[in-house]
Amino acid sequence: MNIKGLFDTDFDIDITGISYDSRLTEPGDMFVAISGYKTDGHIYAAQAAEKGAVCVVGEHDIGGLKIPFIKVENSREALAKAAHTFFNFPSKQLKLIGVTGTNGKTTTTYLIKHILECNCHKVGLIGTNQNLIGQKVIESQHTTPESYELAKLLRQMAEEGCDYVVMEVSSHSLELHRVDYCDFLFAVFTNLTQDHLDFHLSMEQYANAKMKLFNMCRYGIINSDDIFGDQIINALPHKCESYGIETGTVRAENIKTNVGGIEFDCLGQHIILGIPGRFSVYNALGAIALAHSVGIGINEIASALKKAPGVKGRVEIVPVDTDYTVLIDYAHTPDGLKKLLETAREFVKGRLVVLFGCGGDRDKTKRPLMGKIAGELADYCIVTSDNPRTEEPAAIIRDILTGMKDAVAEYIVVENRRDAIEFALNNAIAGDVILLAGKGHETYQILADRTIHFDEREIIRQIIQGR
């Protein structure tokens, strides 16, 4: 690829690769210097040159650089443009579906993938839990990869025969240009509730970041029960399909929920899905509306959903030979925790016990909100650590407890999360539902100085076997 046609420059340089991490730069690369939150890529440009980079793209001049420098307004946008050009715009060869929202993205993408595959399509998936090409697993580092990795992955999916790709699109990825130059056919909106305010600073900025996806797609699939969903529908010039329980053209009626899943009627068919929770109705509706929009019949959709497996870390029932139930869920926002507790309340026979914490170096304002919700909706709360990162776990817990001053539920603090799980299991009584909230699919815990292996399923099994 020649950079002369890529940027407004007189340099006539052929490049054989692209890098934005100097440690990964190879001879012939164009190095893109990105100003990050922890470090500035511009200070590593000389190192990239030493490793064989033939030019540098950046936002400000770099002294002493001995290879051509191309100045751009935004390095992240330039990286996305270069990456998709380098891989020959792979999303144009795929039917690309983006799913965005605060909660429900992962489950919705898996349900869409499952329905499409049951109807003879090969589907790629990009998301929080993992990336998939058909059934082949590719580990993921971010909900939405950086633009270079994303373009490369989309190219691989196209070459391996995928006709559809369904991907989670985070607000960070929209704001940081990771999905620029992606050609989205559909965009699905799940909901908008408080999260990531450490990054977006306000709900308005958070909403505006989400809105960007719907200006990049040709068709919208919108949860019209959500207030922001209505705003999207009214703002978009192109066609939208709406779904919901109270509103929408694709609507759920006669809803029944239990510990084994949900049932409801939709578009003249009875839908059965083995994932519990009223919020699972919304996830299913989003998938139904999408599948219906691409021409799959409601009978085929219902048949696929009946066979759909659960999603790891999303209302996941842990197999324990006990007289109480243990669920693992990724709920890490006030709304996510509220919905999880309301779901469990529908089928709990004994006490509703929730174990939760909050992540460090993230939005502090949600901590007391989550404490308040847990204290109001659970019977017993175990406040513990999540991913503390560089913050003191005890300080995070103190923030949570400020919201629990008027708690109806009993609560205890057990700072070490493994000890907290052991306490929950050892003090469970018949009929209890124990919710382990926050970690979900994660099999690690991020501490100040290291990341440790931490799989709650393994821990539960060890504790029960060790009795």
Angle at 292 (CA atoms; ends 317, 150), nearest 5 degrees:
70
Strand 261-266 and strand 253-258: the pairing is antiparallel
SS3 138: strand
Same domain, residue pair 105 and 55: no
- Residue 196 has what pLDDT? 53
Q: Indicate whether 82 belongs to any domain.
A: no
Q: Both 324 and 416 in a single domain?
A: yes
Asked whether residue 452 falls in the same domain as residue 381, the answer is yes
Q: Domain of 57: which CATH number?
A: 3.40.1390.10
Helix (H) or strand (E) holding 424: helix 417-426
258 lies in a domain? Answer: yes
Yes or no: say if 217 and 186 are a contact pair by the CB < 8 Å rule.
Answer: yes
How high is the pLDDT of residue 169? Answer: 94
**Domain co-membership, 426 together with 458:** yes
Q: How many domains does the chain have?
A: 3
Domain boundary among 45, 77, 109: 77
Shared-domain flag, residues 295 and 329 = no
Assess whether 299 and 332 both reside in one domain. Answer: no
Of 276, 306, 336, the residue at which a domain comes to its end is 306
CA Rg value for the chain: 24
Chain-centroid distance of CA 223 in Å reads: 17
CB atoms within 10 A of CB 459: 16
User: 327: domain range?
Assistant: 316-465
What pLDDT is stored for residue 80 in this prediction?
A: 97
218 and 254 share a domain?
yes
Cα–Cα distances in angstroms (integers) from residue 79 to residues 74, 214, 263, 318, 463, in the given order: 9, 22, 46, 42, 48
**Which residues pair with residue 69 across a beta bridge?**
56
Averages of pLDDT over each 10 residues, the chain, 467 residues: 88 95 96 86 95 96 93 96 97 97 93 98 94 89 85 97 96 91 96 65 73 91 92 83 96 92 97 93 98 97 96 91 94 92 91 97 95 98 97 98 97 98 97 96 94 97 91
Phi-psi region at 313: left, alpha or beta (left = phi > 0; alpha = psi -120 to 50): left
Whether residue 289 is found in the same domain as residue 165: yes
Q: Is 48 contained in some domain?
A: yes
pLDDT confidence of residue 194: 59
Cβ(333)–Cβ(366) below 8 Å: yes
Report pLDDT for 200.
47
Same domain, 386 and 243: no
Structure tokens at 431: 């009929």
Q: Are residues 292 and 370 in the same domain?
A: no
- Same domain? For 37 and 106 the reply is no
For residue 19, list its beta bridge partners: 31
Domain membership flag for residue 243: yes
Whether residue 196 contacts residue 171, with contact meaning beta carbons closer than 8 Å, is answered with yes
pLDDT of residue 128: 85
CATH number of the domain to which 282 belongs: 3.40.1190.10
Residue 83 lies in a domain: no
In a domain, 17, yes or no: yes
Please name every residue paired with 410 in a beta bridge, in sequence order, or none if there are none.
380
The closest of 47, 41, 46, 55 to 4, measured between CA atoms, is 55
Same-domain check for residues 25 and 101: no
Whole-number pLDDT of residue 448: 94
Phi, psi dihedral angles at 79 (to 5 degrees): -60, -45
Residue 84 included in any domain: no
Q: Which two tokens stand for residue 156?
A: 């691989």
